[in-house]
C-alpha cells in the first residue's frame, strides 16, 4: 500500500484557517455595514442551536424537530424574570439553563424511549406544545409578547448595539464549538458515537446508552437555551413566532445541509441558510411578481437535492477542496497503564450455562443447552448453520436474554442482567456480523472496548479535564491493536479494512475490556491461511494467560488444532461434547454435522 496520503502534510495556510477565521470575526463589526453585522449575529445564534443538533442528530442519530422550543424557553425565562421581577440577566441565564435541563430531562425521559420515526414525532408534539404555551399564557405576554427586556452588561459595559453584541455571540459560538469538539474527542464521545451503530454493540461494550442519549439531548437543549437567552437580550423583545415548529424544522435544515456529523457543518449550514433566506426573500417575490414565502419552497427542494447528492451535507464536499492533514497519531506513551482485573486461577469455572432455552415465537432456537467454560481453556461451539450458536452467545452475553435457563458467570447469576452489566463483570464478545463504526478509526473503535476501564464522565470530557485517562485508554487500545497484528491500520477507518481484518478489530476491541472470558462468534471467517495461524497463536497465548475462550467456528482444522473441548449443537440442542478427537469420531456428529462421510 502506498504511504503517500498519510505522509503528506497540510500546507501552513490550512493550519492557519481557524486563526484566520477568528481574526476575520474580530474585525468584522468594525468594517462591515450594520445590516451585515446583524446577519452575522443571527448566523451565530442559529449556529449555536445547530451545533446541538450536530451532537444529537448527526453524531447520536436522534432527530429532533423541537429545538426551537428550547430556544424559546431560554428567551422567555430571561424575558419574564428580567422584566417582571427585575432579576439580573446573568442570573437568568443560570435559571434558564437549569429550567431547560429539567424540562429536557423530563421530555427526554419520555421521548427517547420511542424508537424509529416515533422519536421525531414525539419532538414535534412537545415542540408544538411549548410554542402554544408561550402564546397562550397571559403572564408570558400572549401573542403580543414581552418587550422592554434590558440590555446585557459585561464588566460594566452595556451591549446596546448589534456591533457590541456581536462579540458576545461569537464568543458563545466558539465556546460551544470547543465544548462539542472536546466532548466528541473522548471516552464519552466514543460512547455517543457508538449510539449510531445501534445500541446493541454499545451496550455490549458497557456503554449506558439511555444515559448517553439523555445527555446529548440535554446538551443540545442547553445550547438552544443559551441561544434563546442571547436572542432575547439582542432583540430586547420576544414573542412566540421565532420558537415555532417551522423554526425547529429550519434548525434541522441548517444542521443537515451544513453537514450534520461535523461541528463546522453547523456553522456552514446556519450561514448558508440565513444568507440564502435573506437573499431569496428579497429576490424571489420580485422575480415571480408576487409576494409570499417562496424561500420555504426553495429550501425544501434544496434539502431534497442535497440529501440526494451528499447524505452528509455540504461540509464533507467543502473539505475535498482543502488538503487534509494526516489522521493525528494520538497515542502517547503513558506513565501508568490501565489497571487490570485480578487473574482468575486456571481451571476455575468461569461460565456455566444450564438448560438455556430461547424461543422466537414458535421457533425454539436453543433448547435446554448446557455448557461450561473454565479459565485457561478454549471451548469450541460447533454445529451447522442455524443450529442456534449465535443465539446462545446472545443469551450468555445478555444481548438478547434467554427465555429460560440459568447462566452463572464467575459464581454470579447473570441471566437477568443487561449486557453492559455482564460486560462489567469481565465477559467480552465479538459479533458474527461485524459491528464496527465504519467511519471511525480502528483506534477509536477498539477504545470503545475499554469503555468500562475509564470512569471520567461527560463534563470532564467537555472541559478536557480527562486527558490523562484518555491517553491511557488510547494507549491500551493501541496495545491491543498491535497485539492482534493490526498496528499498521491504527488510524485507518475501520470500514476500509477487508472483512476478515474487521473481525480481528472486533477481537482487539473485546480484549481492550480486559476480559476473563471471551466469546468469539466465527472469528476466523474470511481470514487467509496465515492470518488464521496468527489468530490461533493469539488465542493460545490468551489461554496461557488464563483467559477462557468460547468460540464458534466452521473451519474444522482451526477448531481441532486449538480447542481443548468441543461442544456440538444441532437444532438448538447439544448433540455431543468432549475432546476434539472424541467428538471427531462420534458417529452422531459425523452423521449430523459432517454429513456422515468418513
Ligand atoms: P447459528 O449461529 O448456529 O448459525 P443462529 O443462532 O443465528 O444460528 O439461529 C438459530 C435459529 O434461530 C435460526 O433458525 C434463526 O433463523 C433463528 N433466529 C435467530 N435470531 C432470530 C431472531 N432475532 N428472530 C427470529 N428468529 C431468529
Ligand atoms: Mg451464527
Residue 538 pLDDT: 93
Separation CA 196–CA 200 (nearest Å): 10
Which ligand 1 atom lies nearest to the CA of residue 361? 25
Residue 81 belongs to some domain of the structure: yes
363 lines ligand 1 (CB under 6 A): yes
CA 100 to mean position of chain CA atoms: 23
Residue 200: CA count within 13 A, CB half-sphere:
15
Same domain, 489 and 542: no
Same domain, 464 and 598: no
Residue 323 pLDDT: 67
Largest CA distance in the chain: 92
Same domain, 203 and 112: yes
pTM (2 d.p.) = 0.91
Q: How many domains does the chain have?
A: 3
Residue 156 belongs to some domain of the structure: yes
Beta-carbon contacts of 572 under 8 Å, excluding residues fewer than 6 positions away, are 358, 364, 365, 366, 367, 369, 387, 388, 391
Which ligand 1 atom lies nearest to the CA of residue 360? 25
391 lines ligand 1 (CB under 6 A): yes
Residue 2 pLDDT: 36
142 lines ligand 1 (CB under 6 A): no
* Residue minimizing CA distance to atom 7 of ligand 1: 390
Residue 320 belongs to some domain of the structure: no
Q: Which ligand is nearest to the CA of 431?
A: 2
Last residue of a domain, one of 182, 216, 245: 245
Q: Which domain holds residue 483?
A: 437-513
**C-beta separation of 284 from 298 below 8 A:** yes
Separation CA 389–CA 573 (nearest Å): 10
Query: CA geometry: angle at 121 spanning 115 and 122, to 5°?
Result: 75
Last residue of a domain, one of 513, 547, 565: 513
Residue 259 belongs to some domain of the structure: no
Residue 288 belongs to some domain of the structure: no
**C-beta separation of 78 from 232 below 8 A:** yes
356 lines ligand 1 (CB under 6 A): no
8 DSSP 8-state letter: P
Residue 461 belongs to some domain of the structure: yes
Same domain, 89 and 223: yes
Entry field: residues in the chain = 598
Separation CA 444–CA 429 (nearest Å): 17
Q: Coil, strand or helix: which one is 146?
A: strand
Residue 4 pLDDT: 36
Last residue of a domain, one of 480, 513, 546: 513
Separation CA 562–CA 526 (nearest Å): 18
Distances (CA, A) of 30 to 25, 47, 166, 174: 10, 22, 11, 19
Separation CA 288–CA 54 (nearest Å): 35
Residue 10 pLDDT: 64
Residue 550, H or E segment: strand 548-552
361 lines ligand 1 (CB under 6 A): no
Same domain, 506 and 519: no
Same domain, 522 and 498: no
Same domain, 505 and 540: no
Same domain, 452 and 586: no
Same domain, 114 and 240: yes
Q: Which is nearest to 246 in space by CA: 74, 67, 107?
A: 67
Residue 325 pLDDT: 58
Same domain, 484 and 421: no
Same domain, 156 and 239: yes
Same domain, 526 and 468: no
Residue 12 belongs to some domain of the structure: no
Q: Which is nearest to 529 in space by CA: 561, 558, 499?
A: 558
Cα radius of gyration (the chain): 28
**C-beta separation of 50 from 266 below 8 A:** yes
Question: pLDDT truncated to tens, each residue of the chain (598 aa)?
Answer: 333 334 445 677 777 888 888 889 889 888 999 899 999 999 999 999 999 999 999 899 898 999 999 999 999 999 999 999 999 999 999 999 999 999 999 999 988 887 778 888 889 998 999 899 888 888 888 888 999 999 888 887 888 888 889 999 999 999 999 999 999 999 999 999 999 888 899 999 999 999 999 999 999 999 999 999 999 999 999 999 999 998 999 999 899 888 877 888 899 999 999 998 888 888 888 888 887 777 878 888 888 888 787 777 888 888 777 766 555 556 776 778 888 988 888 889 999 999 999 999 999 999 999 999 999 999 999 998 999 999 999 999 999 999 999 999 999 999 999 999 999 999 999 999 999 999 899 999 999 999 999 999 999 999 999 999 999 999 999 999 999 999 999 999 999 999 989 999 999 999 999 999 999 999 998 889 999 999 999 999 999 999 999 999 988 889 988 999 999 999 999 998 999 888 888 888 888 765 544 4
Residue 331 belongs to some domain of the structure: no
CATH code of 363's domain: 3.40.50.300
**C-beta separation of 570 from 369 below 8 A:** no
Amino acid at each position: 500500500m502506498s504511504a503517500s496520503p498519510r505522509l503528506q502534510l497540510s500546507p501552513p495556510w490550512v493550519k492557519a484557517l481557524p486563526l484566520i477565521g477568528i481574526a476575520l470575526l474580530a474585525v468584522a463589526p468594525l468594517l462591515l455595514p450594520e445590516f451585515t453585522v446583524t446577519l452575522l449575529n443571527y448566523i451565530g445564534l442559529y449556529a449555536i442551536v445547530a451545533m446541538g443538533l450536530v451532537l444529537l442528530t448527526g453524531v447520536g442519530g436522534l432527530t429532533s424537530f423541537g429545538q426551537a422550543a428550547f430556544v424559546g424557553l431560554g428567551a422567555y425565562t430571561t424575558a419574564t424574570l428580567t422584566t417582571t421581577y427585575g432579576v439580573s440577566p446573568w442570573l437568568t441565564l443560570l435559571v434558564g439553563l437549569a429550567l431547560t435541563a429539567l424540562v429536557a430531562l423530563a421530555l427526554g425521559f419520555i421521548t427517547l424511549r420511542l424508537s424509529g420515526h416515533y422519536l421525531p414525532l414525539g419532538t414535534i408534539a412537545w415542540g408544538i406544545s411549548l410554542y402554544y404555551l408561550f402564546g397562550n399564557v397571559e403572564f408570558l405576554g400572549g401573542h403580543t409578547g414581552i418587550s422592554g427586556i434590558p440590555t446585557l452588561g459585561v464588566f460594566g459595559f452595556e451591549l446596546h448595539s448589534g456591533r457590541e453584541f456581536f462579540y458576545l455571540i461569537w464568543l458563545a459560538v466558539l465556546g460551544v464549538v470547543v465544548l462539542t469538539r472536546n466532548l466528541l474527542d473522548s471516552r464519552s464521545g466514543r460512547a455517543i458515537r457508538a449510539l449510531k451503530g445501534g445500541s446493541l454493540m454499545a451496550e455490549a461494550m458497557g456503554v449506558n446508552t439511555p444515559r448517553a442519549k439523555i445527555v446529548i439531548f440535554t446538551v443540545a437543549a442547553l445550547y438552544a437555551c443559551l441561544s434563546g437567552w442571547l436572542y432575547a437580550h439582542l432583540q430586547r423583545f420576544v414573542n412566540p413566532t421565532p420558537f415555532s415548529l417551522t423554526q425547529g424544522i429550519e434548525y434541522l435544515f441548517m444542521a443537515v445541509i451544513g453537514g450534520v456529523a461535523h461541528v463546522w457543518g453547523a456553522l456552514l449550514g446556519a450561514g448558508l441558510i440565513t444568507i440564502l433566506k435573506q437573499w431569496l426573500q428579497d429576490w424571489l417575490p420580485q422575480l415571480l411578481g408576487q409576494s409570499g414565502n417562496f424561500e420555504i419552497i426553495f429550501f425544501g427542494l434544496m434539502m431534497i437535492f442535497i440529501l440526494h447528492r451528499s447524505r452528509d451535507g455540504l461540509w464533507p464536499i467543502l473539505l475535498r477542496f482543502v488538503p487534509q492533514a494526516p489522521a493525528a497519531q494520538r497515542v502517547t506513551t503513558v506513565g501508568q497503564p490501565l489497571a487490570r482485573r485480578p487473574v482468575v486461577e486456571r481451571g476455575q469455572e468461569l461460565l456455566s450455562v444450564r438448560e438455556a432455552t430461547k424461543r422466537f415465537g414458535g421457533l425454539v432456537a436453543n433448547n435446554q443447552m448446557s455448557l461450561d467454560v473454565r479459565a485457561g481453556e478454549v471451548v469450541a461451539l460447533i454445529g451447522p448453520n442455524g443450529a442456534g450458536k449465535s443465539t446462545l452467545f446472545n443469551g450468555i452475553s445478555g444481548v438478547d436474554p434467554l427465555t429460560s435457563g440459568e447462566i452463572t458467570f464467575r459464581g454470579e447469576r447473570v441471566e437477568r442482567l443487561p449486557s453492559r452489566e455482564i460486560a462489567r463483570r469481565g465477559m467480552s464478545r465479538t459479533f458474527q456480523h461485524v459491528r464496527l463504526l465504519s467511519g471511525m478509526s480502528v483506534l477509536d473503535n477498539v477504545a470503545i472496548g475499554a469503555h468500562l476501564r475509564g470512569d471520567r464522565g461527560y463534563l470532564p470530557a467537555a472541559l478536557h479535564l480527562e486527558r490523562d485517562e484518555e491517553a491511557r485508554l488510547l494507549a491500551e487500545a493501541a496495545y491491543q491493536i498491535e497485539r492482534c497484528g493490526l498496528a499498521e491500520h491504527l488510524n485507518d477507518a475501520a470500514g476500509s479494512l477487508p472483512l476478515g481484518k474487521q473481525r480481528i478489530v472486533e477481537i482487539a476491541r473485546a480484549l481492550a475490556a480486559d476480559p476473563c472470558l471471551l466469546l468469539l462468534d466465527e472469528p476466523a471467517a474470511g481470514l487467509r491461511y496465515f492470518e488464521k495461524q496468527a489468530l490461533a497463536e493469539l488465542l493460545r497465548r490468551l489461554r496461557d494467560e488464563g483467559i477462557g475462550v468460547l468460540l464458534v467456528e466452521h473451519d474444522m482444522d482451526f477448531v481441532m488444532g486449538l480447542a481443548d473441548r468441543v461442544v456440538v449443537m444441532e437444532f438448538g440442542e447439544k448433540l455431543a461434547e468432549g475432546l476434539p478427537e472424541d467428538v471427531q469420531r462420534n458417529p452422531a456428529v459425523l452423521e449430523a454435522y459432517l454429513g456422515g462421510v468418513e
